[in-house]
Amino acid sequence: GQNIDQPTEMTATEGAIVQINCTYQTSGFNGLFWYQQHAGEAPTFLSYNVLDGLEEKGRFSSFLSRSKGYSYLLLKELQMKDSASYLCAVPLTGANNLFFGTGTRLTVIP
């Protein structure tokens, strides 16, 4: 089966850097996704990691360690609009149906 653990809530200051951690257990690894979801809105894709290491995409980076069952999302130069939930997810099967963690609610304060 699958299991994902993420912190429930985090608070960070505008302009700062924040790291959101995710640990996972899955039977058969098929990559790890990060999605952003603003309250009441649709989740939007941020990143997909299948190999170990850091992938950078603008202000957002995602890291994966398959041996440790661990990933993190790094957000730099935080902006107020980054206040949202960040969802870690792994595929349930070889297809794209995803098992989501409960998400980390990030609040950015001035």
Long-range Cβ contacts of 44-51 (<8 Å, 24+ apart): 46/73, 46/86, 47/73
Contact segment (CB under 8 A) with another protein among 19-27, 44-52, 61-69, 72-80 equals 44-52
Measured between alpha carbons, how far is 73 from 23 in angstroms, rounded to an integer? 12
| Min separation Cβ 19 and another protein, Å | 21
Which of 31, 55, 66, 76 touches another protein (CB under 8 A)? 31
Q: Establish if 45 lies at the interface with another protein (CB under 8 A).
A: yes
Which of 27, 42, 53, 110 touches another protein (CB under 8 A)? 42
Q: Establish if 1 lies at the interface with another protein (CB under 8 A).
A: no
Q: Establish if 34 lies at the interface with another protein (CB under 8 A).
A: no
Which of 58, 81, 95, 110 touches another protein (CB under 8 A)? 95
Q: How many CB atoms lie within 10 A of CB 32?
A: 25
Measured between alpha carbons, how far is 19 from 33 in angstroms, rounded to an integer? 15
* Closer by beta carbon to another protein, 9 or else 41: 41
Measured between alpha carbons, how far is 83 from 85 in angstroms, rounded to an integer? 7
